[in-house]
Chains A and B, each alone.
Chain A
Amino acid sequence: MSVLTLPAQPVQGAGPALRPVPWQRMIWVTWRQHRGMLVGVAAVLAMVSVFLLVMGLKVHHDYTALINCHPASSDACNAARNSFNNTDWTMGNTILILMNLAPALLGIFTGPAVFARELETGTFRYAWTQGIGRLRWTVAKLVLLAGAIAILAWAFSQVFAWFFGPFLSFEGMNVLAATVFDSRGIDFAAWVLFAFAVGAFLGMLIRRIIPAMAATLGAYLGVQLLAWLVLREDYPVAIDTTNANLFNKPSSPASPWILKTWTAGGTNWWRYIPASRFWPMQFIESGWLLVLAIALGAATVWLVRRRAA
């Protein structure tokens, strides 16, 4: 057979380049493959949101009654204050703690399975040999899922912020304080996005869902502690001052957030962030989380492309 002796003739460039499979097709593919997870996340967040709305109405009602209570030192007002402190605030504080665990939980239940399940069940051999190619397949899934999860998380954090509003005033909590700052604005969504990206990356790296979930939890908590204990001190929104009067007033949501104090040459220094810099600080933290999430996404794509069967 003479065909065997012919040298290979590469035909690239011979005809017009193949038109790639359109990106939009991945919308249905991603939805169909991950609708269980997406619906699950949306359902859980919706149920918690309904709970927060119902409880939030009570909290707002109780708080309004409390601040309108006159005279403030009367037995009735003290009883109302105690009641708010014991029942409402106990619940609010518990939910605040859960709220700070939520990005990690959302991350481990959404990220690792995206690619690790394909590797565990062998379906990547189907997915990566289709005409669309694994680059588009991976990029589209990451972008669509991350976008959907971040939007759901953002909406949820708005409900929580409304629910938690009365406690900020009642407890004199600062909006810049760790745990409160993370649950408001766009920061919560950014942390969820980051947790998802960590999960997807570790799922692809470790190739098994359960170990990847554990690793995601560890990595997430590590970065969050790093942000709380180290990074936030050095965001370029902080101001150094020797003016002690700034910090004499009772603590309120609008108080400056003191990062650290030190003494130099017999003078006391404070490094603080004024509450007015809430949004710059939100954008800085969300910004580096987004950059980190994109870098993790790029690393995931790189892993998928070089992954050998």
Chain B
Amino acid sequence: MNVIEATGLGKCYGKAWALRDCTLAVPEGSLAALVGPNGAGKSTLMNMAVGLTVPTAGAVTVLGGQPPGSPAALDGTAFMAQDAPVYRNMSVADMLHLTRNLNRGFDESAAQRRLADLGIPLKKKTGKLSGGQQAQVALTLALARRPRLLILDEPLSALDPLARQDFLATVMTAMTDDGVSVLLSSHALAELERVADYLIVLGGGELRLAGAVDDLLAEHQVLAGPVADADRLAAQLSTVQAKRAGAQAHLLVREGGQDGRPVPPGWESHPVGLEELVLAYLRPAGSKTRQAAGGSSSAGIHGSRTELTEVSK
């Protein structure tokens, strides 16, 4: 079962497309990281997946074909919006009671236990909690609904490094204990690299890359070799990004990996890191960017981009 499935999904505000032609499928049991710079369309995608926004084009379903906003989708999906909105004049206990009243099922004792473990007093107004505590309360409320899909919009941005770790640990526990699938957005990949097993990269309102992390890493490789050969080779292969540093050229290519096409003579193959991969896909197609340090330049090779926007899985 796919917990999120989008087909040609797009959202247009006025004349500007916040997200366009997005096709992807997140399998059940994933912790899917939705990454991209600010304004890439991450929140738009999430809002459509939870039924807060109606798509302009295409469609999205959750939990195996449920339309967002339908009773079954609302029941099985818990959403934590950006900045963890809570009623600031309500106590934590009131928020628990409120969420219990607004849902069919609510595990209040588990929620109270978790808040006690975190040392968050039930009587305190949520508006007086720290940002990290507010995020933890919102997450606790979401998890106590026993959702099958948890959608978290930039939950880490307001947290300090320690709180980020705690937050992610809670999410991971819910995944292993209750089989919750998670979609989590972030504009920074670093903290998700270790935990995410599915990756969705958005840039400029377009889907740049989507797939299981292991598959993506296996499909891509960095070829290092002489600059003289680079252009010819880049044109032959489906090259994501080409960088030059002195006499050495580095091509990030999507095919083969270790067990794929043989490495051309005179070139060396290296595995690619996830962060490197994401950054390569986020570079606008055909643009040339000059890097300040080292004077090396990189250029995305035009022509491969159309293929990259598809989910070839």
- CB within 8 Å for A308 and B54 given contacts A3-B1, A32-B94: yes
A9 at the binding interface (Cβ < 8 Å): yes
Against B, the Cβ 8 Å flags (1 = close, 0 = not) of A1-22 are 1011110111110000111110
- CB within 8 Å for A8 and B104 given contacts A32-B98, A123-B87, A125-B52: no
Other-chain residue from B47, B63, B97 in contact with A28 (beta carbon distance below 8 A): B97
Chain A residues 90-144 with CB under 8 Å of chain B are 121-134, 137
A309 at the binding interface (Cβ < 8 Å): yes
Q: Are A309 and B47 in contact, CB atoms less than 8 angstroms apart?
A: yes
Identify which of B75-83, B224-232, B237-245 touches chain A.
B75-83
User: Which of the listed residues A9, A21, A36 has the most CB atoms from chain B within 10 Å of its own CB?
Assistant: A21
Contacts of A121 in B (CB 8 A): 85, 88
Other-chain residue from B54, B74, B85 in contact with A131 (beta carbon distance below 8 A): B74
- CB within 8 Å for A21 and B104 given contacts A122-B85, A131-B74: yes
In the assembled complex, how far is the CB of residue B277 from the closest CB belonging to chain A, in whole angstroms?
18
Identify which of B65-73, B168-176, B290-298 touches chain A.
B65-73
Q: Are A21 and B81 in contact, CB atoms less than 8 angstroms apart?
A: no
Contacts of A122 in B (CB 8 A): 81, 83, 85
Q: Are A18 and B2 in contact, CB atoms less than 8 angstroms apart?
A: no
Contacts of A18 in B (CB 8 A): 71-72, 75, 104
Contacts of B85 in A (CB 8 A): 121-123, 125-126
Query: How far is it, in angstroms, between the C-alpha of A133 and the C-alpha of B289 when the chains are bound?
Result: 48
Q: Are A129 and B103 in contact, CB atoms less than 8 angstroms apart?
A: no
Closest B residue to A122 by CB, please name it: B85
B51 at the binding interface (Cβ < 8 Å): yes
Query: How far is it, in angstroms, between the C-alpha of A94 and the C-alpha of B53 when the chains are bound?
Result: 50
B27 at the binding interface (Cβ < 8 Å): yes
A306 at the binding interface (Cβ < 8 Å): yes
Closest B residue to A24 by CB, please name it: B101
A: number of interface residues (CB 8 Å): 40
A29 at the binding interface (Cβ < 8 Å): yes
In the assembled complex, how far is the CB of residue B162 from the closest CB belonging to chain A, in whole angstroms?
25
Other-chain residue from A10, A20, A36 in contact with B71 (beta carbon distance below 8 A): A20
Chain B: number of interface residues, binned into ranges: 35 or more
Query: How far is it, in angstroms, between the C-alpha of A126 and the C-alpha of B137 when the chains are bound?
Result: 12
Query: How far is it, in angstroms, between the C-alpha of A10 and the C-alpha of B72 when the chains are bound?
Result: 11
Query: How far is it, in angstroms, between the C-alpha of A32 and the C-alpha of B102 when the chains are bound?
Result: 13
- CB within 8 Å for A126 and B88 given contacts A11-B64, A309-B47: no
A83 at the binding interface (Cβ < 8 Å): no
Binding site for A on B (CB under 8 A): 1-2, 5, 25, 27-28, 47, 50-54, 61, 63-66, 69-72, 74-75, 77-79, 81, 83, 85-90, 94, 97-99, 101-105, 138, 145, 212, 215, 313
User: What are 10 A-B residue pairs whose CB atoms fall within 8 Å in the complex?
Assistant: A10-B64, A10-B66, A11-B66, A18-B104, A20-B71, A123-B85, A129-B81, A133-B69, A133-B71, A134-B69
Across the A-B interface, the 10 shortest Cβ-Cβ residue pairs: A10-B65, A125-B81, A309-B52, A130-B102, A131-B103, A25-B101, A129-B79, A122-B85, A3-B27, A8-B65
Known: A125-B81, A309-B47, A309-B52. 17 other contacts (CB 8 A): A1-B212, A8-B5, A9-B65, A10-B64, A12-B65, A12-B72, A20-B71, A21-B103, A21-B104, A33-B87, A129-B81, A130-B103, A131-B103, A131-B104, A132-B74, A308-B47, A308-B54
